[in-house]
Amino acid sequence: MNKTKIELKNLAFFARHGLMKEEEALGQRFRLDVRVEIDPSLDLSADAPHITINYVELYALVKEIFEGKRFNLIESCADMIARSILEKFDKAIEVSVTIKKPSVPVDCICDYFATEVTRCR
């Protein structure tokens, strides 16, 4: 089975997502990974940009959603991003969005807490 994926890896955004008042007031930096599996029947040998998904447009959509609206749950944010990608890009057949939250309001030592949401056509 042939598969082609586009990845936007370790994107950094500042936002005020979270349930705690401090998270809304102070905000924090988040890291995102976005993986988009595209239609395997596409003829990539044509080497033409219209055959695939435009990376710049993909990034702009992710940024617009992540920075444009405040979410209590990073799961809800990841879901909206994944569903919006499937809606906007008809060549996308599966989308996975991982959101990493490095500054968690938990008394622990860790790199981050994260969520991953995968949505398919």
- Please tell us whether the domain made up of 4-120 is placed in CATH 3.40.50.1460: no
Residue 38 CA, chain-centre distance (Å), reads: 15
pLDDT tens, position by position, 44-93: 998 999 999 999 999 999 999 999 999 999 999 999 999 999 999 999 99
20: pLDDT strictly greater than 80: yes
So which residues are the catalytic ones? 101
Q: What is the pTM of this model?
A: 0.94
Q: For residues 86 and 37, what is the distance between their CA atoms, to the nearest angstrom? A: 10
Give me the numbers of helices (H) and strands (E) for the chain, helices first please.
3, 4
In the chain, what are the domain boundaries?
A: 4-120
Per-residue model confidence (pLDDT) at position 24: 86
